[in-house]
């Protein structure tokens, strides 16, 4: 039988015997003309295509023989699809190099052997071919590959590379339940896949331009729905990839590569100056610096299938350090100044999630389908939006602030003077993270008066409220939906003397606090659940105050000293956007139980207090305190830079646990403790 006749029988045959027909002699003298692209391969009636919903199941109770057989059923279909696709490529590219075609034929023989082994073992496990539906993803992804190089990149270096992970993962799973026979089968498949990946790599290097690296060549050949993410399976087998000849640089890039595997991604964008963008159309210089240094922070809010927009991609070494600590790396999408012609515009997206919605974010994300900015949305961000919520919550309870602490919205200097009594804070209507606020203890100084005049002229109003001797900063975090406010968590955070954000405590809120304050937070033994009830009430009143807003909401609160006791001001500000508190909540899940931990922004003051002269030296401190995890992968100790120290101009975000967390806490401003 000639190679062409054999390929035709495998591709279009409708019996399983056609797919398993042997090739006794490799004759390829007359490959013939290229065939037209068929819609589907021939298939036995018991195994039709397609059912696009089916995926390889995660091992459940593999002590059940049928469960093991069902897993093998999925692999059998994958082998059959690979065999049919290789036959298609032989028929579509008759003029491909003879060594490539011979190598493809040899791989097809391996696929036939694998399929036979799977079918035999399935029968022993009481599972027959066609018992469950199968998918056609391989076929849909590669049937229209327009060159042998594109096919090889998709088959050998994508699907077969992913099978290195699957074969090792499932082989170990079968071995754990005592099924040595099936584990040995997976071991045989694994060894063959190493050779298949090696063959694909050899042809990639032969066909690519000499100056192009393997990673760029491979990823450049993949067409949607294929991406490098499809070259990974369950687990990540570095050793098998090394044996196949892939370089450490290639393996590292693949290990940290993230991309949606079917679910439309939510696209994230970090714009911390969103309030200023609402007011002035653009963020101030300090916010732009923060945006540049911390732009990757949304990756800790995202899930694996999401995408994060970046001006600069973090280094592979930095991403590997995050991944090594158990953090998920989503797809990282680099762009320049606009998105109008970006490939992302041609993809189906699941949503858009800027840090905060603003005119600038709406304009940037418009090519991705963002709605136009509506000026009336500015009211959600006004400091005065908190006043009616606070008023509704202060019911006279002796542990809550009195009504005299409710601020007053003022539109003229005379109103400001009338509202002031003793020490006070004057806040611009639109400001964030302590910016746009001044503390006044007596008469306004001339610089303060000029600030007030400018702010009233540009924003129309300020909020004046009494200064309170705070001892603890708290924040409630909600998601506002059509069904109301869903409480996501309560956090404890730190600010400097000007109210600018420094970090969050990630362990129990009460850790390290004075005993009287802990007792007070727990209701002094009389009402331990009053904070939980208050949080729910805060959410209800916020939902009523922001009836048209949907999305994340942070509500800052503070505990302050009141004579010999404490009181809580449950609403200081409303932040209808993502916040550092939500990042902190996301990071909490990575910390081992009862481990002291802190999420901090190491700017100049904190770095100086830690003896670090520049952002890059944060990496030195991290090297001195490597991350250590428990058996479950939860962080026990160490310093993990969350953003890249070497690229930072001013600020590095870090996660610190154990001893180094206490070191950072020790240099926080005293009033934050």
Q: What is the pLDDT of residues 375-389, one digit of tens each?
A: 999 999 999 999 999
Residue 63 has which token pair?
């002590």
Q: Can you name the residues that pair with 574 across neighbouring β-strands?
A: 555
Q: What is the model's pLDDT at position 24?
A: 78
Q: How confident is the model at residue 627 (pLDDT cuts 50, 70, 90)?
A: very high
Q: How far apart are CA 538 and CA 4, in angstroms?
A: 72
Residue 373 has which token pair?
């900015």
**Could you tell me if residue 107 is inside a domain?**
yes
Is 203 found in the same domain as 103?
yes
Q: What is the model's pLDDT at position 262?
A: 77
The torsion angles phi and psi of 173, rounded to 5 degrees, stand at -65, -40
- The predicted model gives 19-44 an average pLDDT of 90
Strand pairing category for 551-562 and 565-575? antiparallel
**Could you tell me if residue 19 is inside a domain?**
no
**Could you tell me if residue 449 is inside a domain?**
no
Q: What is the model's pLDDT at position 46?
A: 82
| 3-state secondary structure at position 348 | coil
Q: What is the model's pLDDT at position 669?
A: 78
Q: Can you name the residues that pair with 639 across neighbouring β-strands?
A: 656
* Residue found by looking up tokens 């022993």 in the block: 124
Is 227 found in the same domain as 292?
no
When comparing pLDDT for 250 and 435, which is higher? 250
Q: How far apart are CA 239 and CA 249, in angstroms?
A: 14
Is 342 found in the same domain as 227?
no
The segment with the largest mean pLDDT, out of 46-55, 56-65, 199-208, is: 199-208
Is 143 found in the same domain as 287?
no
Q: How far apart are CA 546 and CA 331, in angstroms?
A: 32
Measured between its terminal Cα atoms, the distance across the chain in Å is 82
Is 272 found in the same domain as 150?
no
365, 340 Cβ separation under 8 angstroms: no
Q: What is the model's pLDDT at position 217?
A: 97
When comparing pLDDT for 9 and 51, which is higher? 9
Please name which of 273, 296, 584 lies closest in space to residue 432, comparing C-alpha atoms.
Answer: 273
| 3-state secondary structure at position 46 | coil
Q: What is the pLDDT of residues 152-164, one digit of tens each?
A: 999 999 999 999 9
Query: Rg (Cα) of the chain, in Å, rounded?
Result: 31
- The answer, yes or no, to whether residue 419 has pLDDT greater than 90, is yes
| 3-state secondary structure at position 51 | coil
The CA distances from residue 508 to 199, 494, 588, in Å, are 54, 14, 10
**Could you tell me if residue 211 is inside a domain?**
yes
Which of 256, 278, 303 corresponds to the end of one domain? 256
304, 330 Cβ separation under 8 angstroms: yes
Q: How confident is the model at residue 50 (pLDDT cuts 50, 70, 90)?
A: low
Is 286 found in the same domain as 187?
no
- The predicted model gives 161-187 an average pLDDT of 97
Is 108 found in the same domain as 212?
yes
* Dihedral Cα 21, 27, 33, 34, nearest 10 deg: 50
Q: What is the model's pLDDT at position 52?
A: 58
Residue 598 has which token pair?
């802190």
163, 114 Cβ separation under 8 angstroms: no
Rounded mean pLDDT of the chain?
A: 93
Q: To the nearest whole percent, how much of the chain has pLDDT over 90?
A: 85
* Residue found by looking up tokens 């054999």 in the block: 6
Q: What is the model's pLDDT at position 221?
A: 97
- The predicted model gives 449-466 an average pLDDT of 94
The Cβ of residue 3 has, within 10 Å, a number of other Cβ atoms equal to 26
Q: How confident is the model at residue 672 (pLDDT cuts 50, 70, 90)?
A: very low
Is 225 found in the same domain as 302?
no
Q: What is the model's pLDDT at position 54?
A: 59
Is 231 found in the same domain as 100?
yes
- The predicted model gives 519-535 an average pLDDT of 93
Number of residues in the chain? 673
Q: What is the model's pLDDT at position 340?
A: 93
Q: How many Å is the maximal CA-CA distance in the chain?
A: 100
Q: What is the model's pLDDT at position 396?
A: 85
Q: What is the model's pLDDT at position 162?
A: 97
Least confident of 42-51, 301-310, 450-459: 42-51
Is 311 found in the same domain as 211?
no
**Could you tell me if residue 565 is inside a domain?**
no
Q: What is the model's pLDDT at position 673?
A: 43
Q: How far apart are CA 244 and CA 247, in angstroms?
A: 9
Quote the pTM value.
Answer: 0.88
- The answer, yes or no, to whether residue 639 has pLDDT greater than 50, is yes
| 3-state secondary structure at position 410 | strand
- The predicted model gives 172-180 an average pLDDT of 96
Which of 206, 224, 256 corresponds to the end of one domain? 256
Q: Which residues, in sequence order, are CB contacts of 39 under 8 Å at separation 6+?
A: none
∠ Cα 585 587 592 (to 5°):
110
599, 504 Cβ separation under 8 angstroms: yes
**Could you tell me if residue 123 is inside a domain?**
yes
Task: Provide the residue range defining the domain that includes 335.
Answer: 266-374
Strand order in the sheet with 266-269: 331-334, 307-310, 266-269, 351-354
Which of 228, 256, 284 corresponds to the end of one domain? 256
Q: How confident is the model at residue 261 (pLDDT cuts 50, 70, 90)?
A: confident
**Domains held by the chain: number:** 2
Q: What is the model's pLDDT at position 58?
A: 65
CATH code, domain with 69: 1.20.1260.10
Q: What is the pLDDT of residues 56-83, one digit of tens each?
A: 666 668 899 999 999 999 999 999 999 9
**Could you tell me if residue 529 is inside a domain?**
no
Is 277 found in the same domain as 251?
no
Is 359 found in the same domain as 278?
yes
**Could you tell me if residue 669 is inside a domain?**
no
Q: How far apart are CA 105 and CA 364, in angstroms?
A: 50
- The predicted model gives 276-293 an average pLDDT of 86
Q: Which residues, in sequence order, are CB contacts of 222 under 8 Å at separation 6+?
A: 150, 153, 154, 158, 228, 230
Helix (H), strand (E) at residue 502: strand 501-505
- The predicted model gives 532-547 an average pLDDT of 96
Q: What is the pLDDT of residues 594-624, one digit of tens each?
A: 999 999 999 999 999 999 999 999 999 999 9
Inter-helix orientation angle 214-221/180-207, to 10° = 100
> How would you class 199 by CB atoms within 10 Å of its CB: exposed for 0-12, middle for 13-18, buried for 19 or more?
buried
- The answer, yes or no, to whether residue 9 has pLDDT greater than 70, is yes
């Amino acid at each position: 039988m000639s190679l062409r006749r054999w390929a035709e029988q495998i591709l279009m045959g409708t019996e399983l015997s056609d797919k398993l027909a042997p090739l006794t002699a490799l004759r390829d003298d007359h490959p013939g003309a290229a065939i037209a692209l068929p819609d589907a391969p021939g298939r036995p009636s018991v195994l039709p295509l397609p059912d696009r919903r089916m995926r390889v199941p995660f091992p459940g109770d593999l002590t059940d023989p049928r469960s093991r057989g069902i897993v093998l059923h999925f692999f059998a279909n994958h082998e059959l699809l690979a065999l049919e696709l290789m036959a298609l490529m032989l028929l579509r590219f008759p003029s491909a190099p003879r060594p490539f075609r011979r190598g493809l034929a040899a791989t097809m023989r391996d696929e036939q052997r694998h399929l036979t082994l799977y079918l035999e073992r399935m029968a022993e496990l009481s599972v027959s071919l066609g018992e469950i539906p199968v998918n056609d993803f391989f076929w849909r992804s590669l049937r229209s590959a327009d060159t042998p190089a594109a096919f090889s990149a998709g088959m050998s270096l994508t699907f077969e590379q992913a099978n290195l992970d699957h074969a090792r993962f499932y082989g170990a799973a079968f071995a754990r339940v005592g099924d040595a026979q099936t584990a040995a089968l997976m071991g045989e498949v694994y060894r063959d896949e190493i050779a298949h990946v090696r063959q694909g790599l050899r042809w990639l290097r032969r066909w690519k331009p000499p100056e192009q690296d393997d990673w760029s060549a491979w990823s450049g050949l993949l067409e949607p729905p294929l991406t490098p993410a499809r070259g990974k399976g369950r687990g990540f087998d570095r050793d098998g990839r090394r044996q196949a000849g892939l370089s450490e640089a290639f393996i590292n890039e693949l290990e940290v590569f993230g991309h949606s595997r079917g679910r439309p991604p939510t696209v994230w964008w970090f714009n911390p100056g969103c309030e200023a963008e609402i007011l002035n159309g653009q963020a101030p210089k300090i916010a732009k610096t923060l945006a540049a240094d911390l732009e990757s922070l949304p990756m800790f809010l995202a899930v694996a299938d999401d995408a994060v927009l970046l001006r600069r991609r973090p280094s592979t070494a930095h991403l590997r350090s995050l991944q090594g600590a158990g953090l998920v790396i989503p797809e990282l999408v680099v762009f320049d100044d606009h998105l109008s012609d970006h490939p992302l515009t041609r993809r189906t997206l699941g949503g858009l999630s800027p840090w905060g919605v603003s005119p600038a974010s709406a304009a940037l994300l418009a090519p991705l389908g963002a709605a136009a900015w509506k000026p009336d949305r500015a009211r959600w961000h006004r400091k005065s939006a908190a006043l009616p919520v606070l008023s509704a919550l202060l019911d006279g309870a002796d542990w809550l602030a009195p009504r005299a602490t409710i601020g007053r919205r003022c539109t003229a200097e005379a109103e400001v003077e009338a509202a002031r009594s003793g020490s006070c804070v004057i806040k611009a209507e639109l400001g964030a993270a302590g910016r746009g606020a001044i503390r006044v203890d007596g008469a306004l100084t001339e610089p303060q008066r000029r600030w007030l005049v400018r702010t009233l002229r540009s924003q129309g109003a300020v909020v004046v409220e009494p200064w309170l001797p705070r001892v603890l900063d708290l924040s409630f975090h909600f998601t506002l939906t059509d069904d109301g406010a869903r409480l996501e968590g309560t956090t404890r955070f730190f600010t400097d003397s000007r109210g600018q954000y420094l970090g969050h405590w990630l362990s129990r809120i009460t850790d390290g606090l004075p005993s009287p304050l802990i007792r007070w937070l727990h209701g002094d033994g009389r009402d331990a659940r009053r904070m939980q009830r208050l949080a729910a009430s805060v959410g209800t009143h916020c939902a009523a105050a922001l009836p048209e807003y949907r999305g994340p909401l942070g509500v800052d609160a503070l505990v302050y000293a009141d004579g010999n006791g404490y009181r809580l001001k449950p609403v200081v500000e409303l932040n209808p956007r993502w916040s550092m508190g939500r990042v902190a909540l996301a990071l909490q899940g990575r910390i081992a139980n009862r481990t002291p931990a802190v999420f901090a922004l190491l700017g100049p003051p904190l770095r100086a207090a830690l003896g670090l002269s520049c952002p890059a030296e944060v990496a030195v401190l991290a090297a001195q305190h490597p991350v250590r995890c428990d058996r479950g992968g939860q962080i026990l100790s160490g310093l993990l830079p969350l953003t890249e120290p070497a690229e930072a101009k001013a600020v590095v975000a870090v996660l610190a646990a154990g001893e180094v967390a206490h070191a950072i806490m020790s240099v926080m401003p005293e009033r934050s403790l």
